[in-house]
Structure 1
Amino acid sequence: MKAIFATAPGSPDVLQLRDIPKPELPSPHHLCVKLAAAGVNPIDTKLRTRPIYYPEKLPAILGCDGAGIVEETGKAVTRFKVGDEVYFCNGGIGDEPGCYAEYTALHEDYCAAKPANLGLQDSAALPLVLLAAWEALVGRASLQAGQTVLIHAAAGGVGHIAVQLAHHLGARIAVTVGDSKKAGLAHGLGAEKIINYREQDFVQETLNWTRSKGADVVFDTVGGETFLRSLNAVRIGGKLATLLATPLSLADTQLARLRNLSLCYELMLTPQVLKLHDERIRQRRILEEGAKLVEEGGLGVLVTHRLPLEQAAEAHRMIEQGGMVGKIILTMG
């Protein structure tokens, strides 16, 4: 089969297409899936540049997100049969092989049936961003109906899922975007307040929108100055959830303490990195809930670029240029 390997830390040029044997089943509980597509995420580019989890295991197949058809099942598999269409977030961080490949093997417990009304290739774009948004808004921030939430980079991969999830939860939504096209997308997904961060001060706009209180929850997918400035956009006693690890100065920490803020950090890869079997099953159940939402019309994933597997390096370059709308997928065959 064909697979894309990260051969060394570095630029997108370190991604190489190779022919390797199809994966064998590591246990009787594993499936072999013929992949239709792999999702491409910013974490892939970061792990290519700096493989922090398993640097000793290069070369490695990247790509956490996949969707495809079950081609083989282990003797103990009970949840799926040959021919089932599935999607999942598995591998791709340097240990278990990822999804930049024509086939992959994974434990049946980490696999979910794809949404019935979503194409097989597009399903590959959903798992990681759904898990990140769900874990941040539901798991960390406990976002409730009627609360206000500010979502940064609302047209991006995680952002556009977060807007839909917040809308499903009944929250009032403000977003930051960089242009009118992204504003239209966010409004169509349920955002009430649109803030163009290039032209407006998002802190002041959020205070104006909430009658000077600040948002109950801020969801940061950007980090850096956006995260630090968000300390003043959250209400007193509110929650700031972030996907990034932005350094805090003593003054920043004192400000967060003065405002009694809850700083909520979310890394949806934790169950995989720390090999927490029960937590990975819990995340699979989130994918099952997400599939129901898609089938009910409450959630969709926007795929804006489809590239063949061989163009993985170009997909990484596009993500690293910034300003992405929606998701990129790599297609097989």
Structure 2
Amino acid sequence: MRALTYHKSNDQFVLAQLDKPAPSADEVLVKVVAAGLNPVDAKIHKWCGGARDMDDTWVPGLDVSGIIEAVGANVEGWSMGDAVLYHGNMFKPCGGFAQYALADADALIPHPDVDPVIAAATPCAGWTAWRALTHKLQIENRKSLLVLGGSGGTGGFAIQIARYFGVETILATCSEQNADYVTSLGATRTIDYNWEDVLSTVYENTARQGVEVAFDTVGGDNDILAANCLGFEGHMVELVGVVRPPIYNGAFLKGLSFHQLSLGSAYRGGTKAKADLVKAGAAFSKLLEAGEITVPRLQQVSLEEAGDALKTIRNQRTVGKIVLKM
């Protein structure tokens, strides 16, 4: 089969011809129709040391839309020919940047009634945004939200989810050139991080109270900014780094709460964690099917172009989503 492999010795994505993998007892073999490209795929050089036995046949690619071609001996509830969507295990070698991939049967969801390329753009970014806003921040009960990184995949989905739940004030950082795009997703006020004072702008747009909840999708020191923008007993989700309450202004006196989120940790968290992953995917996909959530900026690439696209994701800010169409 044709595949895009990763060589950790020289940090290169390399096209290769590999044997078709065979599923274990609890896995399914999926014929890949489309696979989403995500920062976690692009930044494999940062986490490849945690993958056991990674060699030059390692195929990345976590977000896969495809058709089941074979099922393992213990698999129940799935059959050959079923259309499925999933977010895969980053520490397993047979990912979606190939004609065929392997997936844990208990991590699959039925394919939503949308184009496979659209579906493949959603698991990592969309399901993460869903879990952050609904499971961690209880967005259905909130009136104000700050999203740091509004033009990215996860940030853009978060804005749309907040809009769906009727959040009145949705503030989002982005560059001036992406302001119209972020506004179209549902942001009530965009903040240009290049020249605007984010903290002051947040307080100006929340009657000097700060936001109820914040979501940092950027990383670096943006967790400090997100935390400092919170109002009394506000909540923040940090997606990229680790929260650092001691350095946030008034974290104790304001009674702030902080959350971590790693979608892929479901594969290390046991049965309940994986079930939560599946539930998030199913819930998000219902909104996708209903048109409440869209993928408005979508770039489609071939397998031959995917390696360069991953390096682009790694080296600069990406607006919207990039998807490999097999």
Q: What's the secondary structure of 2:276's corresponding residue? A: helix
The residue that corresponds to 1:175 in the other structure is 172
| Alignment partners' CA distance in 2, 1:292 and 1:113 | 11
Shift of 1:196: 1.5
Q: Report 1:1-333 matches (<5 A).
A: 1-8=1-8, 10-11=10-11, 14-27=12-25, 29-54=26-51, 56-59=53-56, 60-91=58-89, 93-116=90-113, 118-172=114-168, 173-180=170-177, 182-246=178-242, 248=244, 250=246, 252-253=247-248, 255-272=250-267, 274=268, 276-332=270-326
| Alignment partners' CA distance in 1, 2:10 and 2:107 | 30
Equivalent pairs, count = 324
Query: Is the Cα contact below 8 Å between 1:151 and 1:163 reproduced in 2?
Result: yes
Query: Is the Cα contact below 8 Å between 1:176 and 1:195 reproduced in 2?
Result: yes
Query: Is the Cα contact below 8 Å between 2:235 and 2:256 reproduced in 1?
Result: yes
Shift of 1:115: 1.7
Q: What TM-score does the superposition give when structure 1 sets the normalisation length?
A: 0.90
| Alignment partners' CA distance in 2, 1:317 and 1:50 | 15
| Alignment partners' CA distance in 2, 1:33 and 1:45 | 22
Shift of 1:80: 2.9
Q: Residue 165 and residue 315 in structure 1: after superposition, are their counterparts in 2 closer, same or farther (change >3 A)?
A: same
Code of the aligned partner of 1:190: G
Give unpaired runs (5+ residues) of structure 1: none
CA RMSD across the alignment:
2.0
Counting aligned pairs with the same residue, the percent is 26
Moved over 4 A (4+): none
